[in-house]
Amino acid sequence: MNQSIPNFKADFYKALAHPMRIRILEILSVEDKNVNELQALLESEGSAVSQQLAVLRSKNVVYGKKDGTTVVYSLRDPLIKELLSVTKQIFDNHLVDAISLLEVMRKES
């Protein structure tokens, strides 16, 4: 099997493996934002947001475009929005399973 595809997938998922990076992607899936806007929405200091954006940029998940003196960030691929939606659905499925298990356990006790 060609190792470049599994390696790409592993690197891609590593880029997503931080809660702030996920939140940044969720925000950018709605609308492009600059660092200051992201900082305000995330209620985080600029250096933390910039560090996470640097990781996402280095893995080609987001890109920045100069707009005057600021840089506006966008998702590199619109499919990332779908990936985030599917991940939320998987979470919901796990939550439903956990609730169902708790209900069964409650009835048994």
Measured between alpha carbons, how far is 24 from 99 in angstroms, rounded to an integer? 29
Place of tokens 């947001």: 49
86, part of any domain: no
Q: What is the pTM of this model?
A: 0.83
Measured between alpha carbons, how far is 62 from 25 in angstroms, rounded to an integer? 8
96, part of any domain: no
Q: What is the pLDDT of residue 38?
A: 97
pLDDT tens digits for the chain (109 residues)? 567 999 999 999 999 999 999 999 999 999 999 999 999 999 998 799 999 999 999 999 999 999 899 999 999 999 999 999 999 999 888 887 778 878 888 888 7
Q: What is the pLDDT of residue 94?
A: 81
Residue 9 sits in a domain whose CATH number is 1.10.10.10
Domain that holds residue 36: 4-77
Total domains in the fold of the chain: 1
Q: What is the pLDDT of residue 87?
A: 92
60, part of any domain: yes
93, part of any domain: no
Place of tokens 């933390």: 48
From 11, 15, 43, 12, select the one nearest 27 (Cα to Cα). 43
